[in-house]
Copies of this chain bind each other. A is one copy, B any other.
């Protein structure tokens, strides 16, 4: 069976879990405590990050960006990147937006400070990082709401990797109760739609010692 090395509250790992489920590719999940820098793991992923996908034929695919492109090429039946060159530019632009800009401005300041730092034993959250993270989350929710209002899905008429990348980041923040959904009703409506997909169900069942998600987290009519 295909194996995905992951951590439960990593948005990059969640994104790949969503993609595999949307493409109906079965896989086993294994947690990898990357900060322990396990020698066998560094052989398949020298950067020692999660996720890494290992195929039945032994091919190791390290890193979420590499895995996304690999899955599109190896399993094109459920395309998630769009068809025309222009559509594919827009999907990849938004994936880079959420995995690059949103991650640096929001996810690392909130999830990175509150969860990853504690997990790796590196102390308490920095109050300034949290303040900056919440302020920037507000701007990003408004941008996301604008996209959701003007298009059926974030990158255009079809569900794409852009929706899955955005939803993966938001799901991690929502788990910690960090999102004020009243900021953008359109973003909330989009998130309710994506959250109700069967691919999302396993993410909503993740539990992590020491963090209790808010009541609405797994509620499809939040």
Chain B residues with Cβ below 8 Å from A97 are 46-47
Tell me, yes or no, whether A61 is within 8 Å of chain B by CB.
Answer: yes
A208 and B59 CA atoms in complex are apart in Å by: 44
Chain B residues with Cβ below 8 Å from A192 are none
State the Cβ distance, A66 to closest chain B Cβ, in Å.
Answer: 4
Chain B residues with Cβ below 8 Å from A143 are 46
Q: Are A70 and B85 in contact (CB under 8 A)?
A: yes
Our pick among B63, B73, B85 for the contact of A96 (Cβ within 8 Å) is: B63
Tell me, yes or no, whether A77 is within 8 Å of chain B by CB.
Answer: no
Tell me, yes or no, whether A86 is within 8 Å of chain B by CB.
Answer: yes
Is chain A's binding surface mostly helix, strand, loop or mixed?
helix
Chain B residues with Cβ below 8 Å from A73 are 85, 88
> Which chain A residues numbered 106 to 136 have a C-beta less than 8 Å away from chain B?
none
A93 and B97 CA atoms in complex are apart in Å by: 20
> Which chain A residues numbered 43 to 79 have a C-beta less than 8 Å away from chain B?
46-47, 59-63, 65-66, 69-70, 73-74
23 contacting pairs across A/B (C-beta < 8 A): A46-B97, A46-B143, A47-B96, A47-B97, A47-B101, A59-B85, A59-B86, A61-B89, A62-B89, A62-B93, A63-B92, A63-B96, A63-B100, A65-B65, A66-B89, A66-B93, A69-B69, A69-B88, A69-B92, A70-B85, A70-B89, A70-B92, A73-B85
Residues of A within 8 A of B (CB): 46-47, 59-63, 65-66, 69-70, 73-74, 85-86, 88-89, 92-93, 96-97, 100-101, 143
